[in-house]
Structure 1
Amino acid sequence: MRREEPGSRSAKLLYRPVGLVSSMVAGLVAGQVFQQVWKRTHPGSPDDAPRPLESEYELTEVLVAAAVQGAIFATVRALVDRGGARLYQRATGDWPGD
């Protein structure tokens, strides 16, 4: 397993705007992925995933939707963050993390 070298303070500061933009992109992508997953796992349901304050859904369905959405968001964000950090390292030679 390859361990990345700790980044310098300047690399961390310079990476912040990249990290911010990549986080926003990750959120948008994760939302789209979740919508597609929800549509495919609940065919015939015209609605979006249940929200916590929608009383027509059972608590279990709301919790399942939230758990799936959270897992997808965390996975997509990790992929985007890691990819952005690797691209930054290739461009600058510095690892922006740690």
Structure 2
Amino acid sequence: MKKSKIAYRPVGLVLGAVSGMIAGAAFKQTWKLIEGEGDAPDALDEDRPWRQILLAAAVQGAIFAVVKATVERSGAQATRRVTGTWPA
């Protein structure tokens, strides 16, 4: 296994946890802007319409994907600066 991949493994774990927290906070704020409500609907929330549930799921998925890609790419670049190789 390459040295850069070994060095990136613990960094990747920490970055994964951090990206989840960032994405969760970003989604909460985005949902407040979209619907003006505090909590996004859950798929099992019978009082919410399908449109609202599917919109929340799509927005949440998009935000999580963008945050994850941003954080992972930044971590890989930082690893390359430290080790001199890309962690793939």
What does the per-residue CA deviation read over 1:36-88, in whole Å, with 9 as the maximum and x for residues that have no partner?
00011122x2x400000110001121111001000000000000000011011
What amino acid is aligned across from residue 29 of structure 1 in structure 2?
A: I
- Matched residues, number: 88
Structure 2: runs of 5 or more not aligned = none
Give the distance between the partners of 2:75 and 2:6, measured in 1 at CA. Answer: 14
Q: Show the 5 A alignment for 1:1-98.
A: 9-43=2-36, 45=37, 47-97=38-88
CA RMSD in angstroms comes to 1.2
Identity %: 48
Structure with the largest fraction of helix = 2
List structure 1 segments (4+ residues) > 4 angstroms apart after TM superposition. Answer: none
TM-score (norm 1): 0.84
> Which structure has the larger Rg?
1
Q: Give unpaired runs (5+ residues) of structure 1.
A: 1-7
